Amino acid sequence: MIPDSDFYNQNGDLLSCRSLGKKLGISKSAASLLIRKFKARHSTFDDEYSLPGKVEESESVEAADETELLISNPVNAKRLFQSIDELRPKEPKKQFEVKMPKRAHRNIIILNDIHFPYHDEAILESVMHYIYDSQVDMVVLNGDTLDCEALSTFQDADRAPFGEELDLARSFIKQLTKIARHNNAGCEFVWIDGNHEARLEKYLVRQAPELLGLSVEGNKVLSIRNLMGLDELGWQYLSYSEFLALPGDLYIQHGHKVSKHSSSSVGNSMRDQGGSVIIGHVHRLGAFYVTNRLGTFRGFENGCLCKQPKYLPKDSANWQRGFCKVTYTDETTWHVQQAFIQDGKFMMDGKLYGA
């Protein structure tokens, strides 16, 4: 490597730190160090290495950098360039580095069939602990959060008052909102009605059709959305007939049909929906996979978080308690972790909850 005319000033044979640094893609001070090393190697170079200002040998490199360092002999300049690779400070050895993904993952927690006031308090508390420990981007309550027992057509003298259910559910979602936002202020929330919430509209149709559409300032007064205060709490609302469409052809819906065995209900929902589906409603856990020429589709039944209601014979229900976490590892790729809750305990993300 031989210096070209860029390194000479109009006098013909001068080289500066600034132009040397520019040429080599290094800083002026690094270029200064190179010249100093070179100077130390070639004692004869001393005489030919000059500074426009008077800089003592003991002065710092920084001080010298302030001054244009000049090499006034083209032969030495050539020698300097020939030995540059040797003189260049060695790059420190790169450390072993593992590239950790940025938090590109998005976690969605899906809970359903809590059936206030028949909720399982201990289980809900453990689920809350899990959410507290997690980084959650969306929480979905996928139907039958309320039992709406008092609004059913079943004749039972001992029916839970509707107001009591609302109070319990409202305090639950307030706490849930707070806990989920504890690690992620931007967490989103979605409420989907189940067939039990749909009891309110059916009740009004039967008993008080005049009040069905009653609205004040645009708010439908006698609606689950209004009674639960979902708008004020920042929750998105979907009715029983709607579903939440997520990327990667994944649909979250409460569910309408119940088959006898685990996973066959969601298989039916997948045929109806034509994609991958997560449902509640059946109170069972299950997984159903189908691969065809269009791809692989997955269906999950998401268990329940309630106790067996008093109107069912003791231990007669083929139910499992559970919930799931859906994790997006990119825009459309998702993975499901199902929590199977047994005796109030479950494992999620390698940790035991409810013990």
Within a 10 A sphere around the Cβ of 344, how many other Cβ atoms? 14
Residue with tokens 């100093």: 36
In this complex, which beta carbon is closest to Fe ion, that of residue 76 or of residue 253? 253
The answer to whether the CB of 73 falls within 8 A of the CB of 285 is no
Segment interacting with Fe ion (CB under 5 A) among 66-74, 139-147, 204-212, 308-316: 139-147
Query: Considering beta carbons, is residue 118 or 353 the nearer one to Fe ion?
Result: 118
Residues facing 140 on adjacent strands: 110, 190
Of 68, 144, 197, 301, the one binding Fe ion (CB under 5 A) is 144
To Fe ion, the closest distance from the beta carbon of 198 in angstroms equals 9
> How far apart are alpha carbons 147 and 119 in whole angstroms?
9
Q: In this complex, which beta carbon is closest to Fe ion, that of residue 281 or of residue 325? A: 281
Q: Please identify, among the stretches 49-57, 70-78, 143-151, 316-324, the one whose residues bind Fe ion according to the rule CB under 5 A.
A: 143-151
Q: How far is the CB of 277 from Fe ion (least distance, A)?
A: 15
* # residues contacting Fe ion (CB under 5 A): 5
Q: Name the residue with tokens 């069912």.
A: 312
Give the CB-side neighbour count of residue 273, counting CA atoms within 13 A: 28
Task: Select from 194, 267, 286, 354 the one that contacts Fe ion (CB under 5 A).
Answer: 194
Burial label, 211 (beta-carbon count in 10 A; 0-12, 13-18, 19+): exposed
| Closer to Fe ion by Cβ: residue 33 or 114 | 114
**Among 3-11, 19-27, 110-118, 203-211, the segment contacting Fe ion (CB under 5 A):** 110-118
Q: Kindly tell me which residue out of 67, 72, 195, 263 binds Fe ion, with binding defined by CB under 5 A.
A: 195
CB of 315 to Fe ion, least distance (A): 17
Residue 281 found at the interface with Fe ion (CB under 5 A): yes
Among 290, 295, 266, 276, CA closest to 336: 276
Identify the bridge partners of residue 325 per DSSP, sorted by sequence position.
109, 337
Cα distances from 67 to residues 17, 26, 166, 223, 281, in angstroms, run 9, 17, 79, 79, 80
Residue nearest Fe ion by beta-carbon distance: 144
Is there binding between residue 113 and Fe ion (CB under 5 A)? yes
> Should residue 193 be labelled a site residue for Fe ion when binding is judged by CB under 5 A?
no
Where on the chain is the footprint of Fe ion (CB under 5 A)? 113, 144, 194-195, 281
